Copies of this chain bind each other. A is one copy, B any other.
């Protein structure tokens, strides 16, 4: 075990320099403002939670939880998402608030990572939870808000895929009754989009032709609203049919929101099936090539915190969006440099104060002897300032643009 060098930071974490930080803050603000305009109020929860409560309730797999011990020997975790902490708050501090609750957040979350994976151990998410409403309207609202939020973040071209865990659960129960291991194996393959593996496993199950076709038919269930029709023909299972009806009603509401052009139905999409209980969705940005948003309904989570209420929500993968989205206005407002001789400092500082009050940025500096006449040192600063204001005892005041590259 070698000691880290002075300038090293742990694997999987990053520094955000001013340019990236300003863009991250702009995205945070635009998206939270958008969520606020839909009636979602921001909350903040601690970075550290108990493993036995929020850690176990979170959708993050145990080996990816970032764990630590406190001095009483209790296991703590660095939060891996905001959904479980918000469920805790909704069940405690906000227990007496009237439903539905509409809450938003922007926060960093953590993953314990394998060193070689090149993944992020800390990254930002911005999202909402809508608690206490089990209707298709509520699911449609969070999908429509996810679309509006991506737009607010500056993502131009994207698609959302919409699925339903209940449909798959019902269909698998019908095709493979009492065979939960095989169900699990097939779901794992769907989760990893391993369609070849899904077919191979389905063929090895020793099913009759009809059951076989029912299972393999799942893989074709991607497209528009007609997919719900096709899916309905595959199954008689009540849960599956009810789920399809729910999904159809979500779709119809999304049409009324005027956003169905951005949405596909994809019944092969399952999300984290130990966690989600109904509709699930993911957003993909054309310019980025990876998911930038995921969400869904999780009606069993709040019960674990003692308040049995349905809930639905999503999280934008804000760090990824930051990496992928072009900055619409890359030009920056450079500060004015106010340069002064010692004798005129009060004047110069007052002028800097006026500039700041007027919304500009100003940097002040005592001139090095002779600097007002010889601009060699200013040359080195070209590009850092929009202009230079001089308060000099030799010669008159003058304003001039700084040299810029």
- A229-263 residues at the B interface, CB under 8 angstroms: 253, 255-258
Given contact pairs A3-B52, A48-B10, A345 touches B253 in the complex (Cβ within 8 A): yes
Contact mask for chain A residues 86-116; partner B; CB cutoff 8 A; 1 contact, 0 none: 0011011110001000110000101010010
Contact mask for chain A residues 29-64; partner B; CB cutoff 8 A; 1 contact, 0 none: 100101011110111111111101110000000000
Using Cβ atoms and an 8 Å threshold, which residues of chain B touch A74? 1, 4, 10
Query: Of all chain B residues, which has the CB nearest A25?
Result: B42
Given contact pairs A37-B361, A98-B381, A121 touches B48 in the complex (Cβ within 8 A): yes
A6 at the interface (CB under 8 A from B): yes
Using Cβ atoms and an 8 Å threshold, which residues of chain B touch A48? 10, 13, 110, 121-122
Using Cβ atoms and an 8 Å threshold, which residues of chain B touch A36? 361
Given contact pairs A9-B46, A15-B46, A16-B43, A37 touches B359 in the complex (Cβ within 8 A): yes
A108 to chain B, nearest CB (A): 6
B253, A10: Cβ atoms closer than 8 Å: no
A274 at the interface (CB under 8 A from B): no
Interface residue count on the A side (C-beta < 8 Å): 95
For the complex, would chain A's binding face be called helix, strand, loop or mixed by DSSP majority?
mixed
In the bound complex, what is the Cα–Cα distance between A103 and B177 (angstroms)? Answer: 62
In the bound complex, what is the Cα–Cα distance between A88 and B6 (angstroms)? Answer: 7
In the bound complex, what is the Cα–Cα distance between A70 and B44 (angstroms)? Answer: 26
Query: Of all chain B residues, which has the CB nearest A56?
Result: B6
Stretch at the interface among A157-165, A196-204, A362-370: A362-370
In the bound complex, what is the Cα–Cα distance between A32 and B24 (angstroms)? Answer: 14
Contact mask for chain A residues 110-141; partner B; CB cutoff 8 A; 1 contact, 0 none: 10100100000110000000000001010001
A267 to chain B, nearest CB (A): 25
Using Cβ atoms and an 8 Å threshold, which residues of chain B touch A47? 13, 47, 78, 108, 110, 122
A43, B68: Cβ atoms closer than 8 Å: no
Using Cβ atoms and an 8 Å threshold, which residues of chain B touch A193? none
A25 to chain B, nearest CB (A): 7
In the bound complex, what is the Cα–Cα distance between A346 and B255 (angstroms)? Answer: 8
A17 at the interface (CB under 8 A from B): yes
Given contact pairs A4-B74, A10-B76, A305-B7, A89 touches B15 in the complex (Cβ within 8 A): yes
Given contact pairs A18-B42, A135-B366, A305 touches B6 in the complex (Cβ within 8 A): yes
A43, B72: Cβ atoms closer than 8 Å: no
Using Cβ atoms and an 8 Å threshold, which residues of chain B touch A73? 1
A398 at the interface (CB under 8 A from B): no
A384 at the interface (CB under 8 A from B): yes
A224 at the interface (CB under 8 A from B): no
B141, A45: Cβ atoms closer than 8 Å: no
* Pick from B4, B257, B306: contact of A50, CB under 8 Å: B4
A335 at the interface (CB under 8 A from B): yes
Contact mask for chain A residues 7-29; partner B; CB cutoff 8 A; 1 contact, 0 none: 11111011111101110110001
A349 at the interface (CB under 8 A from B): yes
Among A39, A98, A110, A355, max chain B CB count under 10 A is at A39
Inter-chain pairs besides A7-B92, A102-B363, A135-B366, 14 sampled, C-beta below 8 Å: A1-B73, A8-B50, A8-B53, A9-B88, A15-B46, A16-B43, A36-B361, A37-B359, A37-B360, A39-B363, A48-B121, A253-B345, A258-B346, A258-B349
13 CB contacts below 8 A, A to B, read A6-B91, A9-B49, A9-B54, A15-B46, A16-B44, A22-B41, A24-B44, A25-B32, A37-B356, A39-B362, A47-B110, A135-B366, A258-B353
